[in-house]
Amino acid sequence: MNVKLSSFLISIAVLFGLLGVSHGGKLSLDYYKDTCPQALDIVREVTWKHVEQDLTVAAPLLRLHFHDCFIRGCDASILIDSTANNTAEKDAIPNLTLGGFDVIADIKAAVEKVCPGVVSCADIVALAARDSVSFQYKKSLWKVFLGRRDGTVSHASDALVNLPPPTFNFDQLKQRFASKGLDIFDLVVLSGAHTIGDSHCFSFSHRLYNFTGKGYGQDPSLNPIYAAYLKTKCKNLSDNTTSLPMDPKSSLSFDTHYYKILLKHKGLFQSDAALLTDKKSFKEVKKLIVFKYFIEKFAHSIKKMGEIQVLTRNEGQIRKNCSVVSLVYE
């Protein structure tokens, strides 16, 4: 293959790669103004009801939005159930610990009673993520642009190649986020979502018992006192049931405590610790300790994430039941 042809093919590949991570310019804040003006109030009311009953609900709903957008774009494909002929995203190994599906179903049912066939499951996922986190402050922490349509395809295999695992180093994280049109600042800011929620031991226990990959060794970048504490909870590599807060003493509060403990080398995941290994990333971590700055940047980054490969207009469909590809609504 000659050099000119090779360069041309590379250019085409880059072009299609960029098109594949398009950020939804067709979304708008007032998308449901005429078709379902009550939509946002209903989503917030139902979401807040659930969070008020159980504060731990916020983290799964935020994580659900992240996993949905990173796999096939923000199309609610993460909600589709597996069938006899297909294993869906939600049953992929990285997604087996996801939660919040019941809340989304509850919201969808409430919206359908008022505006049948109008509001997409994809928009509900994006709104519920925002509203669940915002409950703590009784005001919306960021704006959610709307108009997403629901996807009709969901494969477990897509999750494995698109979601960044907690074992990634900085370069791997940077590449994975870049493939979604997100930069290193988005990476650092969105990692701040780890300030709420829990994680199972198997996501980080290799840092305690097998960092060398040879069946032994502790991650030297992990705070030794924190590591000793973790070992009292996660006693071996085979523990698949125990879970611990990702941000000790602040796991129910959406704040900047995550960055404070990260600077003390108490980030739970290898991917957390990785944020301190790059100069630009490290500098951003220190700036994000300021809550006002964090919220401002988080609002910007989650808006970008919420527009990854969105389906709009006549693409996709509006599902009647978020867990099943619809045969009724178009």
Active site residues: 67
State the DSSP code for 81: P
Token duo for residue 223: 């705070």
* 20: its two tokens: 């594949």
| Angstrom distance (rounded) from CA 174 to CA 185 | 10
Helices 121-134 and 101-114 pack at an angle, to 10 degrees, of 110
How big is the chain, counted in residues? 330
Structure tokens of 27?
Answer: 């979304």
Cβ-contact 297, 189 below 8 angstroms: yes
Q: Measure CA of the first residue to CA of the last residue in the chain; give whole Å.
A: 45
Burial of 149 per CB tally in 10 Å (0-12, 13-18, 19+): buried
